[in-house]
């Protein structure tokens, strides 16, 4: 009787974990959107306050400050934060030990007992997020105990899960409040934020775990957390999937009928890319899911040529939009794994149990085609990038030697900046080609933007160049030469007058050679 009664009084909760976690995430998403405009408002209020002092402004500022603090709390459980962390192997028992050390000062009133078994069991996930979650849980347990009390923490593992329980002898949670746990901002504490459990639910759910809460008012609460163990090898193996299948389906029919499941599995395999799909779509108009179907089709139908053409196009698209290569690699490898899962399931349903030879032929064919895709993709990607670099270099060179045609016969070459050996060679190349190709008869070289030439050889090179122009039947008019440059030339014994006419300024030269002629 006694134990029955106890059971009935216990408030049990099989919390709607996923719903709550998504509420948290939606809220965080909204917080993110709202925070930016509010931050702008804050800036403007500060400006206003500098212009004129007004008590309403102070109130507005401090209220805004409160709103921003609330938003920041929300953002702490937000998705971007979760995504930044890498997945790694975690021994939860170790992390729990470390967290408990942070609560040393509470241990006078509260005795904390631990019972850690199966400490070699690992989970896989975002370590800091887990630390934060268990910190929140233990903190809540401590805060639930008004005076003296106990907290017991256990760690065990089943075949598939690591199980942690946190049991406190605190005030407990009334039944009507139990279903509110995890809702953002739900708190019964004067200075509570109500964000602790939201973070906990969010993290546990993201890692495929479960939470169970049993509580009894004035006696205490037990949180049980179960997280799937790390089974990376098993995860990589083929899996039986629940797929649509008709008897005479070809592989293509089968894949087409299960298009949606294929996408789901694929997104599940490519964790990092999944979140970027939208971004890549808007950025480069690249539809990754559609492309995945296309690739798979080319592979199963052995359409090698189309596959190669497709790989090249993709390489260019990727290079054009400078999308991180790691995403492509992850995406293609995820497609490979998903395709193998599907081929395995197709075979299962087909009841054929392919013979060893057939299997190895299929293996070779599928993997070779996907490898080919990757090879051509990368070649085309890097070719595009190389060409881009080369053409940018060309552009810069052209910009540094701007030859401006004034009419059929006369062009101006305004040189700006300092001239060293390399640049002189570029100028030589461009101008000689241009004189030949465009039949320039008079070239006005304006040097007013050139402060100096780097050394004697450059001066000599320049003199040779001018001689070259006249050998090609082109008159050179030099304008705007600075006195320092003239002095240097004289000291080197260079005389340009044989091959070039000098004019003080560009205006003078234009006047002489263009306007006068026309009059």
What is the binding site for ligand ADP (CB under 6 A)? 136, 140-141, 144, 168, 170-173, 181, 186-189, 192-198, 221
CB-nearer residue toward ligand ADP: 51 or 176: 176
CB-nearer residue toward Mg ion: 72 or 272: 72
* Residue 154 touches which member of ligand ADP, Mg ion, none, C-beta under 5-8 Å by kind: none
Q: How far is the CB of 9 from Mg ion (least distance, A)?
A: 25
* Residue 189 touches which member of Mg ion, ligand ADP, none, C-beta under 5-8 Å by kind: ligand ADP
H or E element, residue 124:
strand 123-125
* Residue 170 touches which member of Mg ion, ligand ADP, none, C-beta under 5-8 Å by kind: ligand ADP
- Interface with Mg ion, residue 198, by CB under 5 A: no
Q: How far is the CB of 132 from Mg ion (least distance, A)?
A: 11
Q: Are 514 and 478 in contact (CB under 8 A)?
A: no
* Residue 240 touches which member of ligand ADP, Mg ion, none, C-beta under 5-8 Å by kind: none
Q: Spell out the residues 6+ positions from residue 326 whose beta carbon is closer than 8 angstroms to its own.
A: 272
Q: How far is the CB of 99 from ligand ADP (least distance, A)?
A: 15
CB-nearer residue toward ligand ADP: 116 or 186: 186
Encoded one letter per residue, x for contact with Mg ion by CB under 5 A and - for no contact, window 153-192 reads ----------------------------------------
CB-nearer residue toward Mg ion: 187 or 448: 187
Q: Go through the chain and tell me how many residues it has.
A: 519
* Residue 449 touches which member of ligand ADP, Mg ion, none, C-beta under 5-8 Å by kind: none
Q: How far is the CB of 200 from Mg ion (least distance, A)?
A: 9
Q: How far is the CB of 285 from ligand ADP (least distance, A)?
A: 42
Q: How far is the CB of 181 from ligand ADP (least distance, A)?
A: 5
Q: How far is the CB of 147 from ligand ADP (least distance, A)?
A: 15
Q: Give 430-434's long-range contacts (Cβ < 8 A, gap of 24+).
A: 430/397, 430/398, 430/401, 430/403, 431/401, 431/403, 431/465, 431/469, 432/468, 432/469, 432/472, 434/403
SS3 label, residue 263: helix
Q: Spell out the residues 6+ positions from residue 79 whose beta carbon is closer than 8 angstroms to its own.
A: 25, 28, 29
- Interface with Mg ion, residue 144, by CB under 5 A: no
Residue with tokens 């500098």: 50
| Helix and strand numbers, DSSP H then E, in the chain | 22, 13
Token pair listed for 418: 């300092």
* Residue 173 touches which member of Mg ion, ligand ADP, none, C-beta under 5-8 Å by kind: ligand ADP
Which stretches of 401-494 are DSSP H helices?
Answer: 421-438, 456-471, 483-491
- Interface with Mg ion, residue 140, by CB under 5 A: yes
Which residue sits closest to ligand ADP, CB atoms considered? 196
Q: In angstroms, what is the C-alpha Rg of the chain?
A: 37
CA atoms within 13 A on the CB side of 494: 21
SS3 label, residue 336: helix
Which residue sits closest to Mg ion, CB atoms considered? 196
Q: Treating both helix axes as pointing N-terminal to C-terminal, what angle do 288-300 and 259-269 enclose, rounded to 10 degrees?
A: 110
* Residue 187 touches which member of Mg ion, ligand ADP, none, C-beta under 5-8 Å by kind: ligand ADP
Q: How far is the CB of 183 from ligand ADP (least distance, A)?
A: 8
* Residue 188 touches which member of Mg ion, ligand ADP, none, C-beta under 5-8 Å by kind: ligand ADP
The torsion angle over the Cα atoms of residues 121, 126, 27 and 43, rounded to 10 degrees, is 150
Closest CA to 273 of 300, 252, 298, 292: 292
Q: Where are the beta strands (DSSP E) in 247-389?
A: none
Q: Residue 161 CA to chain centroid, in angstroms? A: 31
- Interface with Mg ion, residue 196, by CB under 5 A: yes
CB-nearer residue toward ligand ADP: 195 or 410: 195
Q: How far is the CB of 196 from Mg ion (least distance, A)?
A: 3
Q: CA torsion sign, 276 to 308 to 370 to 257?
A: positive
CB-nearer residue toward ligand ADP: 139 or 430: 139
Binding site for Mg ion (CB under 5 A): 140, 196
């Amino acid at each position: 009787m006694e134990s029955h009664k106890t059971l009935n009084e216990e408030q049990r909760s099989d919390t709607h974990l996923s719903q709550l976690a998504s509420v948290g995430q939606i809220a965080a998403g909204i917080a993110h959107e709202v925070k930016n405009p509010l931050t702008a408002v804050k800036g403007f209020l500060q400006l206003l306050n500098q212009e004129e002092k007004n008590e309403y402004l102070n109130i507005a500022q401090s209220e805004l400050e409160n709103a921003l603090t609330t938003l920041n709390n929300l953002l702490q459980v937000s998705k971007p934060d979760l995504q930044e962390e890498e997945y790694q192997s975690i021994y939860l028992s170790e992390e729990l030990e470390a967290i408990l050390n942070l609560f040393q000062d509470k241990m006078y009133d509260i005795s904390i007992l631990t019972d850690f078994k199966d400490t070699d069991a690992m989970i896989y996930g975002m370590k800091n997020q887990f630390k934060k979650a268990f910190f929140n849980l233990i903190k809540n347990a401590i805060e639930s105990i008004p005076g003296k009390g106990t907290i017991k923490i256990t760690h065990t593992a089943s075949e598939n899960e690591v199980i942690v329980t946190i049991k406190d002898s605190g005030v407990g949670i009334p039944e009507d409040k139990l279903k509110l746990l995890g809702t953002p901002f739900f708190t019964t504490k004067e200075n509570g934020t109500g964000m602790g459990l939201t973070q906990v639910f969010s993290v546990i759910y993201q890692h495929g775990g479960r939470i169970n809460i049993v509580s009894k008012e004035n006696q205490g609460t037990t949180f049980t957390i179960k997280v799937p163990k790390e089974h990376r090898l098993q995860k990589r193996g083929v899996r039986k999937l629940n797929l649509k299948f008709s008897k005479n389906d070809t592989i293509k029919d089968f894949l087409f009928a299960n298009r949606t499941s294929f996408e789901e599995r694929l997104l599940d395999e490519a964790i990092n890319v999944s979140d970027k799909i939208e971004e890549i779509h808007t950025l480069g108009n690249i539809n990754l899911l559609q492309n995945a179907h296309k690739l798979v089709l080319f592979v199963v139908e052995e359409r090698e040529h189309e596959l190669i053409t497709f790989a090249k196009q993709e390489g260019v698209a990727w290079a054009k939009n400078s999308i991180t290569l790691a995403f492509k690699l992850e995406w293609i490898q995820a497609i490979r794994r998903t395709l193998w899962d599907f081929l395995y399931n197709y075979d299962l349903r087909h009841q054929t149990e392919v013979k060893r030879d057939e299997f190895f032929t299929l293996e070779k064919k599928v993997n070779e085609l996907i490898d080919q895709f990757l090879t051509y993709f990368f070649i085309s990607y890097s070719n595009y990038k190389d060409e881009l670099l080369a053409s940018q270099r060309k552009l810069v060179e052209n910009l540094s030697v701007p030859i401006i045609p004034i009419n059929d016969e006369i062009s101006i070459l305004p040189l700006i900046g300092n001239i060293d050996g390399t640049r002189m060679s570029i100028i030589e190349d461009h101008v000689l080609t241009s004189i030949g190709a465009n039949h320039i008869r008079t070239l006005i070289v304006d040097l007013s933007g050139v402060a100096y030439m780097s050394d004697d050889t450059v001066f000599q090179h320049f003199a040779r160049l001018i001689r070259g122009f006249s050998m090609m039947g082109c008159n050179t008019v030099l304008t705007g030469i600075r006195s320092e440059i003239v002095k240097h030339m004289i000291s080197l014994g260079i005389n340009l007058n044989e091959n070039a006419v000098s004019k003080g300024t560009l205006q003078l030269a234009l006047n002489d050679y263009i306007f006068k002629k026309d009059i």
